[in-house]
A = this chain, B = another copy of it.
Amino acid sequence: MAADIEADGDASSSAHRVHVPLEGRSYDILIGPRLLERAGALLAERFPGRRFGIVTDTEVARAQLPRLGASLDAAGIAHGTIVLPNGEATKSFSRLEEVVEGLLAARLERGDLVIALGGGVIGDLAGFAAAITRRGMDFIQMPTSLLAQVDSSVGGKTGINSPHGKNLVGAFHQPRLVLADLDTLDTLPPREFAAGYAEVVKYGLIDDEAFYFWLEANRRAIFEGGPERAEAVARCCAAKTRFVLADEKETGVRALLNLGHTFGHALEKITGYSGRLLHGEGVAIGMVMAHAFSARLGLAPGQDAERISRHLSAAGLPTRLGDIPGEIGGTDAIMDAIAQDKKVSRGALTFILTRGIGQAFIEKGVDPGAVRSFIEDQRHT
């Protein structure tokens, strides 16, 4: 099967390979250790004669850029680098302009490539910049956060935030290659690792009960960096790829990937996209809420939300509104943020609900009143 995991052909490595066979734009996701060291050779082979513009952030530049730079230099590959401040605020119009103008100033041509070296912020921003520079440059994802490796680097959604909400501006633009170097996770702050883990759990909750139970059993090993970590990342990439292949432009089933995200995005918004609540942390709370809300609607067993909450808490994640540090404001603010989310269609609320672990589904006609009274209750638990 296309989105299944294979051992990478290169015998010198222990990498996994997930192939994404999109028509005319198929690409590989390579997952394994030491991929940044191999990047120079890989790019020289796959994109001979091209030039590269690296986009990264200050933290990743410090922790990981030297490895990539040395590898490109050793392969004699011309490249320039644009370094942006780290953090969600970088996904803005002004940073987009900065990257686009930087790529143009470097005189990169249409056949040259942009490399996104970083977490989801850099991947989304640099991918979007590639999509619109010269009406479409190729780009490569080199995800360095767990979240980016299991989620944002796969599937071609790119974009920036608006004062009106997250990811409201962007393009669908598929990368030409994804290199998920597991060694990069060694320098990732633990809180960021945990946030990425929320998205890992999401794949189990959506439609893979067995994977969810496997995660409960192997959580410690994944956090400690055993071979289970590589397996978890590869299984997530394969799962995400299946959704992308089924529905590239998110007109249908791909929306299941938003499990926990309607609540999560709203919480990120009201906390101002600040360090107060990371994306994955919002998703963790949102997933527990999605299960609790589904139970309240009589759709799902009541104990699932509790079970998932224990699992995520053990991983160091917040799971209730009360876990968010500081004031979060009133229910109105949350409802307003939900209504402005892009999954609103003609005034009705669309939510990903569930019948239980591994049984998520898309519900388009959710009653805003029911959401409001659920949130009211949640604010006091």
Contact = CB atoms under 8 A, between A and B. Distances in A.
Taken together, the copies of this chain in the complex come to: 2
A162 interface: yes
B135 A100 contact: no
A83 to B, nearest CB: 20
Nearest to A97: B93
A164 to B, nearest CB: 4
A351 to B, nearest CB: 16
A105 B164 contact: yes
A135 B163 contact: no
User: A interface, by DSSP: helix, strand, loop or mixed?
Assistant: mixed
A344 B109 contact: yes
A101 interface: yes
B109 A345 contact: yes
A107 interface: yes
Contacts of A167: 135
Contact of A131 (B96, B134, B171): B171
A342 B105 contact: no
A296 interface: no
Contacts of A128: 132
A162 B110 contact: no
Interface in A48-107: 49, 93, 96-97, 100-101, 104-105, 107
Interface string A107-150: 10111000000000000000010011111100000000000000
Contacts of A340: 107
Contact of A157 (B96, B132, B135): B135
B109 A168 contact: no
A280 interface: no
Contacts of A132: 128, 132, 159, 169-171
A171 B168 contact: no
Nearest to A163: B101
B104 A162 contact: yes
A346 interface: yes
Given A101-B164, A346-B109, A171 B169 contact: no
29 contacts: A93-B96, A101-B162, A101-B163, A101-B164, A104-B162, A104-B165, A105-B164, A107-B340, A109-B344, A109-B346, A110-B342, A110-B345, A111-B346, A128-B132, A131-B171, A132-B170, A132-B171, A133-B169, A134-B168, A134-B342, A135-B157, A135-B159, A135-B167, A135-B169, A135-B170, A135-B171, A136-B171, A136-B249, A171-B171
Given A104-B165, A132-B132, 10 more contacts: A93-B93, A101-B164, A104-B162, A109-B345, A132-B170, A133-B168, A135-B157, A135-B159, A135-B172, A136-B249
Interface of A: 49, 93, 96-97, 100-101, 104-105, 107, 109-111, 128, 131-136, 157, 159, 162-165, 167-172, 249, 340, 342, 344-346
